[in-house]
Amino acid sequence: MGIAAPVVKSNANNSWARIPSRHIYYYRSSQHNDRWILSFAFIFESSDPVQFAYCIPYTYGQMQSWLNELEARKYTFFHRDLLIHTVQKRRVDLITIDGSSDTFQGSKKMIFLTARVHPGESPSSHVMHGIIEFLVSKDDRAQKLRKVYCFKIIPMLNPDGVYLGNYRCSLMGHDLNRMWRSPSEWAHPSIYAVKSLLTQYDNNPQAQTVIYVDLHAHSQKPNCFLYGNVSMTALWLPQLLSELSEDYSLEFTQFNTDVEKAGTGRRTMGELLSCLCYTLEVSFFSYRHVDSSGNGIQHCTPYLQYKYEALGEAFCRALLNFYEADCGIREILLERPFKTFLPARAQKSLKKQARKMIQTVMMK
């Protein structure tokens, strides 16, 4: 996982910082049934309060304040709507970013993004923050993105879980990312509403959904990477993102239809929608990258807030390059054959499908 470093913030330093790796100890403890224990040393230099966290926090209140600020900027292309209330009556916001006067004018292509279905995965919120801030910016590429795509964004799918400090579940104790197949309007209102909205867009001939991405954080693997469903075109976005971001890992990128992932947003909506569906994962802790010396030496760098937000910007730039490739004005050179991104059982399944297709063609 790289450097699994908690974060710390004090009055003297008002931003979150990683605890240095030399102060971190990771060991098996006989006093805890031989489980792994993470401990760290810290020197308190004053009596002022000090905060520690597993990863850089991003709260529900923080998001609401930021969305209020975005609304106050009076962008003509930015719209904030209430999609639904949670069980505890918190807002599930729907953000629309679209540079055209009519959202679905001329069958405009749509990108749909969601984050924070697992409340403990705060890095996904920082990446989403970077995405939205770039999309509303004056950057020429952001302006072009607003012209060619309509963005529909749910920045926080599980506000109750975030507010209550849960790690993975909702108020009702459910993992909402396993409820997509049959969500309850009462117990899983955000999933129910988002699934209904995506299905509605998919059935609208004027709303061509191109890509759906659900943002997550990963506790065991470093870097950032995409999980996708089995599709050749699905490899474009990972390749383009790897060209723009030093922390993107093609090594961890994978396309699968594993049974244990059934009920997730990616799998369920991938079966229902006529678009590419992904899960974007980013490490809670750090990323490995090769330095610029040309010696092939790998370094492990801790993720900080600015780097998560920079990933959001890189993701947007990759979407613009995807649009150009889709229009035939950009060539994509794939570094690896598609089958190498598939787990062994998926490769076998793909071979069986290919044999059946060949037999069908020969019979005709």
Q: Helix 189-202 crosses helix 265-272 at what angle (to 10 degrees)?
A: 30
Q: First-to-last CA distance in the chain? A: 52
CA distance 281 to 252: 10
CA distance 108 to 130: 24
Instruction: Tell me, yes or no, if 335 is annotated catalytic.
Output: no
Cβ-contact 341, 242 below 8 angstroms: no
Beta-sheet pairing, 276-283 with 208-218: parallel
Radius of gyration, CA atoms only, the chain: 21
Amino acid occupying residue 314: A
Q: Of 121, 281, 309, 313, which is the active-site residue?
A: 281
Measured CA distances, 100 to 73, 134, 143, 263, 278 (Å): 18, 17, 11, 35, 26
CA distance 5 to 22: 10
Cβ-contact 5, 18 below 8 angstroms: yes
What residues are labeled active site? 281
